[in-house]
Structure 1
Amino acid sequence: MILTVGNTKGGVGKTTLALNIAIARAIAGRDVWLIDGDRQGTAQTAIALRADAGREPAIACAQYADGSALRAQLQHQSKKFEDIIIDAGGRDSTALRAALVLSDVLLVPFAPRSLDVWALADICALIDEARSVRDGLRAYAVLNCADTHGTDNQEAAEAVADYPQLVYLNTPIKRRKAIANAAGQGLSVLEAIPKDVKANDELNALMLRLF
Protein backbone atom coordinates (compact mmCIF):
# COMPACT_ATOMS: atom_id res chain seq x y z
CA MET A 1 0.00 0.00 0.00
CA ILE A 2 1.10 3.55 -0.72
CA LEU A 3 -0.24 5.88 1.97
CA THR A 4 0.32 9.61 2.06
CA VAL A 5 -0.04 11.57 5.28
CA GLY A 6 -0.65 15.03 3.95
CA ASN A 7 -2.36 18.37 4.33
CA THR A 8 -1.84 21.75 2.74
CA LYS A 9 -1.92 23.26 6.22
CA GLY A 10 1.13 23.07 8.42
CA GLY A 11 1.24 22.41 12.13
CA VAL A 12 -1.16 19.46 12.12
CA GLY A 13 1.38 16.84 13.21
CA LYS A 14 1.61 15.01 9.90
CA THR A 15 5.30 14.12 10.25
CA THR A 16 4.87 12.65 13.71
CA LEU A 17 1.87 10.66 12.51
CA ALA A 18 3.67 9.42 9.37
CA LEU A 19 6.63 8.35 11.49
CA ASN A 20 4.40 6.46 13.90
CA ILE A 21 2.52 4.72 11.10
CA ALA A 22 5.72 3.68 9.30
CA ILE A 23 7.31 2.26 12.44
CA ALA A 24 4.11 0.51 13.49
CA ARG A 25 3.95 -1.26 10.13
CA ALA A 26 7.62 -2.25 10.44
CA ILE A 27 7.00 -3.62 13.94
CA ALA A 28 4.17 -5.66 12.41
CA GLY A 29 6.73 -7.28 10.09
CA ARG A 30 6.13 -5.26 6.94
CA ASP A 31 8.92 -4.04 4.65
CA VAL A 32 8.43 -0.26 4.89
CA TRP A 33 9.77 2.74 3.01
CA LEU A 34 9.20 6.18 4.51
CA ILE A 35 9.42 9.03 2.02
CA ASP A 36 9.97 12.54 3.32
CA GLY A 37 8.31 14.86 0.82
CA ASP A 38 8.84 17.99 2.89
CA ARG A 39 11.76 20.37 2.33
CA GLN A 40 12.27 20.65 6.09
CA GLY A 41 13.32 16.99 6.14
CA THR A 42 12.03 16.35 9.66
CA ALA A 43 11.02 12.75 9.02
CA GLN A 44 14.41 11.93 7.54
CA THR A 45 16.13 13.51 10.54
CA ALA A 46 14.05 11.38 12.90
CA ILE A 47 14.94 8.20 11.02
CA ALA A 48 18.62 9.18 11.06
CA LEU A 49 18.43 9.51 14.86
CA ARG A 50 16.80 6.09 14.98
CA ALA A 51 19.54 4.57 12.86
CA ASP A 52 22.31 6.21 14.90
CA ALA A 53 20.82 4.68 18.05
CA GLY A 54 20.74 1.24 16.41
CA ARG A 55 17.00 0.85 16.90
CA GLU A 56 15.22 -2.08 15.32
CA PRO A 57 13.35 -2.53 13.13
CA ALA A 58 15.31 -0.34 10.75
CA ILE A 59 13.27 1.91 8.47
CA ALA A 60 14.29 2.77 4.91
CA CYS A 61 13.88 6.50 4.32
CA ALA A 62 14.52 8.96 1.50
CA GLN A 63 13.75 12.62 0.97
CA TYR A 64 12.16 13.82 -2.28
CA ALA A 65 10.79 17.31 -1.84
CA ASP A 66 10.49 17.81 -5.60
CA GLY A 67 7.43 16.28 -7.22
CA SER A 68 9.18 14.99 -10.32
CA ALA A 69 11.86 13.25 -8.25
CA LEU A 70 9.28 11.75 -5.90
CA ARG A 71 7.23 10.49 -8.82
CA ALA A 72 10.21 8.97 -10.62
CA GLN A 73 11.64 7.23 -7.57
CA LEU A 74 8.27 5.96 -6.42
CA GLN A 75 7.49 4.48 -9.82
CA HIS A 76 10.95 2.93 -10.01
CA GLN A 77 11.21 1.48 -6.50
CA SER A 78 7.68 0.93 -5.20
CA LYS A 79 7.66 -2.81 -5.93
CA LYS A 80 10.59 -3.33 -3.55
CA PHE A 81 8.45 -2.51 -0.52
CA GLU A 82 5.22 -3.79 0.98
CA ASP A 83 4.17 -0.46 2.45
CA ILE A 84 5.23 3.05 1.46
CA ILE A 85 4.40 5.93 3.78
CA ILE A 86 4.79 9.44 2.36
CA ASP A 87 5.02 12.52 4.57
CA ALA A 88 4.00 15.41 2.32
CA GLY A 89 2.44 18.82 2.59
CA GLY A 90 2.38 21.66 5.01
CA ARG A 91 1.63 23.63 1.84
CA ASP A 92 0.49 23.00 -1.72
CA SER A 93 3.67 21.48 -3.15
CA THR A 94 4.66 19.49 -6.22
CA ALA A 95 5.61 16.61 -3.91
CA LEU A 96 2.14 16.54 -2.36
CA ARG A 97 0.47 16.64 -5.77
CA ALA A 98 2.66 13.82 -7.09
CA ALA A 99 2.02 11.74 -3.97
CA LEU A 100 -1.75 12.10 -4.30
CA VAL A 101 -1.76 10.79 -7.86
CA LEU A 102 0.31 7.73 -6.94
CA SER A 103 -1.15 6.85 -3.53
CA ASP A 104 -3.80 4.31 -2.63
CA VAL A 105 -4.74 6.16 0.54
CA LEU A 106 -4.51 9.76 1.74
CA LEU A 107 -4.71 10.41 5.47
CA VAL A 108 -5.41 14.05 6.29
CA PRO A 109 -4.62 14.91 9.91
CA PHE A 110 -6.23 18.05 11.27
CA ALA A 111 -6.49 19.69 14.66
CA PRO A 112 -9.83 20.56 16.31
CA ARG A 113 -9.55 24.25 15.47
CA SER A 114 -11.63 26.38 13.09
CA LEU A 115 -8.64 27.34 10.94
CA ASP A 116 -7.71 23.69 10.48
CA VAL A 117 -11.26 22.72 9.52
CA TRP A 118 -11.58 25.58 7.05
CA ALA A 119 -8.25 24.60 5.48
CA LEU A 120 -9.67 21.19 4.54
CA ALA A 121 -11.19 22.88 1.49
CA ASP A 122 -7.70 23.28 0.00
CA ILE A 123 -6.69 19.63 0.33
CA CYS A 124 -10.12 18.58 -0.97
CA ALA A 125 -9.49 20.58 -4.14
CA LEU A 126 -6.24 18.65 -4.64
CA ILE A 127 -8.06 15.37 -4.01
CA ASP A 128 -10.50 16.24 -6.79
CA GLU A 129 -7.59 16.97 -9.13
CA ALA A 130 -5.83 13.71 -8.27
CA ARG A 131 -8.99 11.68 -8.80
CA SER A 132 -9.48 13.28 -12.20
CA VAL A 133 -6.08 11.85 -13.19
CA ARG A 134 -6.31 8.48 -11.48
CA ASP A 135 -9.30 6.74 -9.94
CA GLY A 136 -9.14 4.89 -6.66
CA LEU A 137 -7.66 7.34 -4.17
CA ARG A 138 -9.26 6.77 -0.76
CA ALA A 139 -9.12 9.88 1.41
CA TYR A 140 -9.61 9.92 5.17
CA ALA A 141 -9.53 12.68 7.76
CA VAL A 142 -8.43 12.07 11.34
CA LEU A 143 -8.20 14.36 14.33
CA ASN A 144 -4.58 14.70 15.37
CA CYS A 145 -3.32 16.56 18.43
CA ALA A 146 -6.90 16.31 19.61
CA ASP A 147 -8.03 17.73 22.95
CA THR A 148 -8.25 15.40 25.92
CA HIS A 149 -11.31 17.27 27.23
CA GLY A 150 -14.06 19.55 25.93
CA THR A 151 -16.37 19.61 22.92
CA ASP A 152 -14.02 20.96 20.25
CA ASN A 153 -13.16 17.45 18.98
CA GLN A 154 -16.79 16.58 18.33
CA GLU A 155 -17.53 19.90 16.64
CA ALA A 156 -14.50 19.56 14.36
CA ALA A 157 -15.40 15.98 13.48
CA GLU A 158 -18.94 16.98 12.57
CA ALA A 159 -17.61 19.74 10.30
CA VAL A 160 -15.87 17.15 8.10
CA ALA A 161 -19.32 16.28 6.74
CA ASP A 162 -19.08 19.50 4.71
CA TYR A 163 -16.27 17.89 2.67
CA PRO A 164 -17.62 14.86 0.76
CA GLN A 165 -14.14 14.05 -0.58
CA LEU A 166 -13.15 12.88 2.91
CA VAL A 167 -14.27 10.02 5.12
CA TYR A 168 -13.90 10.83 8.80
CA LEU A 169 -12.14 8.20 10.90
CA ASN A 170 -13.39 8.24 14.46
CA THR A 171 -9.98 7.26 15.81
CA PRO A 172 -8.58 10.55 17.15
CA ILE A 173 -4.99 10.85 18.27
CA LYS A 174 -4.90 13.00 21.40
CA ARG A 175 -2.21 15.55 22.20
CA ARG A 176 0.15 13.57 24.44
CA LYS A 177 3.72 14.24 25.54
CA ALA A 178 4.62 10.59 25.02
CA ILE A 179 4.01 10.87 21.27
CA ALA A 180 6.10 14.01 20.83
CA ASN A 181 8.90 12.75 23.06
CA ALA A 182 9.11 9.44 21.20
CA ALA A 183 9.15 11.12 17.79
CA GLY A 184 12.01 13.35 18.92
CA GLN A 185 14.08 10.19 19.31
CA GLY A 186 12.99 8.63 16.03
CA LEU A 187 10.61 6.28 17.81
CA SER A 188 6.97 5.35 17.61
CA VAL A 189 4.94 5.81 20.77
CA LEU A 190 4.57 2.01 20.63
CA GLU A 191 8.27 1.80 21.54
CA ALA A 192 8.30 4.49 24.21
CA ILE A 193 9.28 3.69 27.78
CA PRO A 194 7.43 4.19 30.05
CA LYS A 195 4.53 2.91 28.03
CA ASP A 196 1.59 5.25 27.47
CA VAL A 197 -1.32 2.84 27.23
CA LYS A 198 -3.84 5.41 25.99
CA ALA A 199 -1.53 6.66 23.25
CA ASN A 200 -0.79 3.08 22.18
CA ASP A 201 -4.48 2.26 22.04
CA GLU A 202 -5.22 5.33 19.93
CA LEU A 203 -2.49 4.56 17.41
CA ASN A 204 -3.48 0.89 17.19
CA ALA A 205 -7.11 1.85 16.58
CA LEU A 206 -6.07 4.11 13.70
CA MET A 207 -3.84 1.39 12.23
CA LEU A 208 -6.72 -1.09 12.26
CA ARG A 209 -8.88 1.34 10.28
CA LEU A 210 -6.16 2.12 7.75
CA PHE A 211 -4.82 -1.39 7.18
Structure 2
Amino acid sequence: MIYTVGGIKGGSGKTTIATNLTVYLAKQGRDVILVDADDQESATDFTSFRHQSLEGELGYTAVKITGTELNSNVARLAKKYDDVVIDTGGRDTVSQRSALSVSHVYLVPFAPRSLDIWTLRKVENLIAEMSPFNPNLVCLTFINKADARGTYKEDTADLLRESQHVKFIDTPIGNRISFANAAASGLGVIEIKPTDEKAVSEITELYNGIQNALKTSTEKKRFTT
Protein backbone atom coordinates (compact mmCIF):
# COMPACT_ATOMS: atom_id res chain seq x y z
CA MET A 1 0.00 0.00 0.00
CA ILE A 2 1.04 3.57 -0.67
CA TYR A 3 -0.27 6.00 1.94
CA THR A 4 0.02 9.77 1.53
CA VAL A 5 -0.59 11.96 4.57
CA GLY A 6 -1.30 15.54 3.53
CA GLY A 7 -3.73 18.41 3.28
CA ILE A 8 -3.82 22.13 2.66
CA LYS A 9 -3.63 23.63 6.14
CA GLY A 10 -0.67 23.39 8.51
CA GLY A 11 -0.87 22.54 12.18
CA SER A 12 -3.03 19.43 11.97
CA GLY A 13 -0.28 16.98 12.93
CA LYS A 14 0.38 15.30 9.60
CA THR A 15 3.94 14.26 10.41
CA THR A 16 2.77 12.77 13.71
CA ILE A 17 0.29 10.61 11.80
CA ALA A 18 2.78 9.65 9.09
CA THR A 19 5.51 8.63 11.53
CA ASN A 20 3.18 6.77 13.89
CA LEU A 21 1.61 4.93 10.95
CA THR A 22 5.08 3.98 9.74
CA VAL A 23 6.10 2.63 13.14
CA TYR A 24 2.77 0.82 13.56
CA LEU A 25 3.13 -0.92 10.19
CA ALA A 26 6.73 -1.85 10.94
CA LYS A 27 5.67 -3.39 14.25
CA GLN A 28 3.20 -5.56 12.33
CA GLY A 29 6.15 -7.07 10.48
CA ARG A 30 5.69 -4.97 7.36
CA ASP A 31 8.71 -3.80 5.34
CA VAL A 32 8.04 -0.06 5.30
CA ILE A 33 9.68 2.98 3.73
CA LEU A 34 8.93 6.49 5.00
CA VAL A 35 9.19 9.16 2.29
CA ASP A 36 9.72 12.74 3.46
CA ALA A 37 8.22 14.92 0.72
CA ASP A 38 7.89 18.03 2.87
CA ASP A 39 10.40 20.87 2.56
CA GLN A 40 10.24 21.34 6.35
CA GLU A 41 11.77 17.84 6.69
CA SER A 42 9.96 17.02 9.93
CA ALA A 43 9.84 13.31 9.10
CA THR A 44 13.58 13.38 8.45
CA ASP A 45 14.14 14.99 11.84
CA PHE A 46 12.00 12.27 13.44
CA THR A 47 14.13 9.58 11.82
CA SER A 48 17.31 11.31 12.98
CA PHE A 49 16.02 11.32 16.57
CA ARG A 50 15.07 7.66 16.20
CA HIS A 51 18.52 6.78 14.90
CA GLN A 52 20.03 8.22 18.06
CA SER A 53 17.50 6.66 20.43
CA LEU A 54 17.65 3.19 18.95
CA GLU A 55 21.33 3.24 17.94
CA GLY A 56 20.59 2.93 14.25
CA GLU A 57 17.93 0.21 14.50
CA LEU A 58 15.15 2.18 12.80
CA GLY A 59 12.85 -0.68 11.86
CA TYR A 60 12.02 1.02 8.57
CA THR A 61 13.76 2.71 5.65
CA ALA A 62 13.65 6.49 5.23
CA VAL A 63 14.30 8.69 2.20
CA LYS A 64 13.82 12.31 1.20
CA ILE A 65 12.11 12.82 -2.19
CA THR A 66 10.36 15.91 -3.50
CA GLY A 67 9.17 17.42 -6.76
CA THR A 68 7.78 16.10 -10.01
CA GLU A 69 9.83 12.90 -9.94
CA LEU A 70 8.31 11.75 -6.66
CA ASN A 71 5.62 9.62 -8.30
CA SER A 72 8.05 7.66 -10.49
CA ASN A 73 10.43 7.12 -7.58
CA VAL A 74 7.62 5.99 -5.28
CA ALA A 75 6.25 3.62 -7.92
CA ARG A 76 9.70 2.04 -8.12
CA LEU A 77 10.06 1.82 -4.34
CA ALA A 78 6.60 0.28 -3.98
CA LYS A 79 7.86 -2.80 -5.81
CA LYS A 80 10.51 -3.33 -3.14
CA TYR A 81 8.54 -2.61 0.05
CA ASP A 82 5.28 -3.81 1.56
CA ASP A 83 4.16 -0.27 2.36
CA VAL A 84 5.14 3.28 1.48
CA VAL A 85 4.16 6.17 3.78
CA ILE A 86 4.57 9.67 2.33
CA ASP A 87 4.59 12.80 4.49
CA THR A 88 3.80 15.74 2.18
CA GLY A 89 3.25 18.56 4.65
CA GLY A 90 0.39 21.05 4.80
CA ARG A 91 0.45 22.89 1.49
CA ASP A 92 -0.74 22.27 -2.04
CA THR A 93 2.64 21.46 -3.54
CA VAL A 94 3.99 19.71 -6.61
CA SER A 95 5.23 16.98 -4.29
CA GLN A 96 1.79 16.35 -2.81
CA ARG A 97 0.13 16.21 -6.22
CA SER A 98 2.84 13.91 -7.50
CA ALA A 99 2.34 11.61 -4.49
CA LEU A 100 -1.43 11.51 -4.98
CA SER A 101 -1.03 10.34 -8.56
CA VAL A 102 0.41 6.99 -7.38
CA SER A 103 -1.08 6.53 -3.90
CA HIS A 104 -3.73 4.06 -2.80
CA VAL A 105 -4.80 6.09 0.23
CA TYR A 106 -4.89 9.83 0.93
CA LEU A 107 -5.12 10.62 4.64
CA VAL A 108 -6.18 14.15 5.62
CA PRO A 109 -6.17 14.86 9.36
CA PHE A 110 -8.03 17.90 10.68
CA ALA A 111 -7.45 19.54 14.05
CA PRO A 112 -10.85 20.65 15.41
CA ARG A 113 -9.93 24.16 16.46
CA SER A 114 -8.20 24.93 13.17
CA LEU A 115 -10.84 23.55 10.84
CA ASP A 116 -12.11 26.06 8.30
CA ILE A 117 -14.81 25.07 5.80
CA TRP A 118 -12.88 26.85 3.08
CA THR A 119 -9.87 24.67 3.85
CA LEU A 120 -12.01 21.56 3.45
CA ARG A 121 -13.25 22.86 0.13
CA LYS A 122 -9.68 23.40 -1.02
CA VAL A 123 -8.90 19.79 -0.15
CA GLU A 124 -11.97 18.68 -2.08
CA ASN A 125 -10.89 20.76 -5.08
CA LEU A 126 -7.43 19.20 -4.96
CA ILE A 127 -8.92 15.71 -4.90
CA ALA A 128 -11.26 16.55 -7.79
CA GLU A 129 -8.33 17.82 -9.84
CA MET A 130 -6.22 14.73 -9.13
CA SER A 131 -9.02 12.20 -9.61
CA PRO A 132 -8.54 11.83 -13.40
CA PHE A 133 -4.90 10.86 -12.81
CA ASN A 134 -5.72 8.32 -10.08
CA PRO A 135 -9.43 7.40 -10.09
CA ASN A 136 -8.94 4.56 -7.58
CA LEU A 137 -7.48 6.80 -4.87
CA VAL A 138 -9.30 6.34 -1.55
CA CYS A 139 -9.51 9.66 0.30
CA LEU A 140 -10.07 9.54 4.05
CA THR A 141 -10.32 12.23 6.70
CA PHE A 142 -10.37 12.06 10.48
CA ILE A 143 -9.95 14.26 13.53
CA ASN A 144 -6.48 14.69 14.97
CA LYS A 145 -5.33 16.57 18.10
CA ALA A 146 -8.85 16.36 19.52
CA ASP A 147 -9.56 18.00 22.88
CA ALA A 148 -11.22 15.87 25.54
CA ARG A 149 -13.59 18.70 26.41
CA GLY A 150 -15.82 20.98 24.40
CA THR A 151 -17.92 20.46 21.30
CA TYR A 152 -15.17 21.19 18.77
CA LYS A 153 -14.74 17.52 17.90
CA GLU A 154 -18.44 16.91 17.29
CA ASP A 155 -18.84 20.10 15.24
CA THR A 156 -15.83 19.18 13.11
CA ALA A 157 -17.08 15.63 12.60
CA ASP A 158 -20.43 16.92 11.36
CA LEU A 159 -18.70 19.11 8.78
CA LEU A 160 -16.41 16.34 7.58
CA ARG A 161 -19.28 13.87 7.21
CA GLU A 162 -20.89 16.20 4.67
CA SER A 163 -17.97 15.98 2.26
CA GLN A 164 -18.61 14.24 -1.05
CA HIS A 165 -14.92 13.82 -1.86
CA VAL A 166 -13.42 12.47 1.36
CA LYS A 167 -14.82 9.73 3.55
CA PHE A 168 -14.88 10.54 7.25
CA ILE A 169 -13.69 7.79 9.57
CA ASP A 170 -14.71 8.22 13.20
CA THR A 171 -11.36 7.32 14.76
CA PRO A 172 -10.22 10.53 16.48
CA ILE A 173 -6.68 10.96 17.75
CA GLY A 174 -6.45 12.89 21.00
CA ASN A 175 -4.28 15.90 21.71
CA ARG A 176 -2.02 13.90 24.05
CA ILE A 177 1.39 14.82 25.42
CA SER A 178 2.50 11.25 24.83
CA PHE A 179 2.61 11.88 21.07
CA ALA A 180 4.97 14.84 21.56
CA ASN A 181 7.10 12.92 24.05
CA ALA A 182 7.39 9.99 21.68
CA ALA A 183 8.26 12.19 18.69
CA ALA A 184 11.04 13.93 20.63
CA SER A 185 12.81 10.56 20.82
CA GLY A 186 11.87 9.44 17.32
CA LEU A 187 9.47 6.83 18.67
CA GLY A 188 5.94 5.86 17.85
CA VAL A 189 3.41 6.23 20.64
CA ILE A 190 3.11 2.44 20.73
CA GLU A 191 6.79 2.24 21.75
CA ILE A 192 7.17 4.69 24.62
CA LYS A 193 7.28 3.73 28.29
CA PRO A 194 5.25 4.07 30.39
CA THR A 195 2.58 3.07 27.90
CA ASP A 196 -0.25 5.48 27.16
CA GLU A 197 -2.97 2.90 26.60
CA LYS A 198 -5.45 5.44 25.24
CA ALA A 199 -2.97 6.75 22.66
CA VAL A 200 -2.05 3.22 21.59
CA SER A 201 -5.74 2.37 21.25
CA GLU A 202 -6.35 5.45 19.12
CA ILE A 203 -3.54 4.65 16.68
CA THR A 204 -4.73 1.06 16.46
CA GLU A 205 -8.31 2.14 15.81
CA LEU A 206 -7.14 4.60 13.16
CA TYR A 207 -5.26 1.85 11.33
CA ASN A 208 -8.26 -0.48 11.55
CA GLY A 209 -10.53 2.32 10.35
CA ILE A 210 -8.32 2.83 7.31
CA GLN A 211 -8.33 -0.87 6.48
CA ASN A 212 -12.11 -1.11 6.90
CA ALA A 213 -12.60 1.88 4.59
CA LEU A 214 -10.34 0.28 2.00
CA LYS A 215 -12.24 -2.98 2.23
CA THR A 216 -15.56 -1.18 1.83
CA SER A 217 -14.24 0.76 -1.17
CA THR A 218 -12.98 -2.43 -2.82
CA GLU A 219 -16.27 -4.25 -2.27
CA LYS A 220 -18.24 -1.29 -3.63
CA LYS A 221 -16.14 -1.22 -6.80
CA ARG A 222 -16.63 -4.97 -7.31
CA PHE A 223 -20.38 -4.57 -6.86
CA THR A 224 -20.65 -1.69 -9.34
CA THR A 225 -18.59 -3.48 -11.96
TM-score (ref. length: structure 1): 0.95
CA distance in structure 2 between the partners assigned to 1:118 and 1:174 by the alignment: 24
Aligned to 1:63: 64
Report the residue type matching 1:144 in the other structure: N
SS at match of 2:5: strand
Structure 2 unaligned blocks of 5 or more: 212-225
Matches within 5 A, 1:18-33: 18-33=18-33
RMSD after superposition: 1.4
1:85-141 CA distance string (max 9 Å, x none): 011131110010011111000110001136444311111111111111221110111
Report the residue type matching 1:194 in the other structure: P
The 8 Å contact of residues 37 and 66 in structure 2, kept in 1 or not, is answered as: yes
The alpha carbon displacement at 1:160 in A equals: 1.1
| Worse-superposed segment, 9-18 or 124-133 | 124-133
Aligned to 2:166: 166
SS at match of 2:88: strand
CA distance in structure 2 between the partners assigned to 1:116 and 1:173 by the alignment: 19
Structure 1 unaligned blocks of 5 or more: none
How many matched pairs?
Answer: 210
Aligned to 1:3: 3
Report the residue type matching 1:40 in the other structure: Q
Quote the sequence identity (%). 39
Aligned to 1:147: 147
1:19-49 CA distance string (max 9 Å, x none): 0000000011000010111001110111122
The alpha carbon displacement at 1:180 in A equals: 1.0
| Worse-superposed segment, 45-54 or 103-112 | 45-54
Matches within 5 A, 1:84-163: 84-113=84-113, 115-163=115-163
CA distance in structure 1 between the partners assigned to 2:201 and 2:34 by the alignment: 23
CA distance in structure 2 between the partners assigned to 1:115 and 1:207 by the alignment: 22
CA distance in structure 1 between the partners assigned to 2:140 and 2:57 by the alignment: 29
TM-score (ref. length: structure 2): 0.89
Report the residue type matching 1:65 in the other structure: T
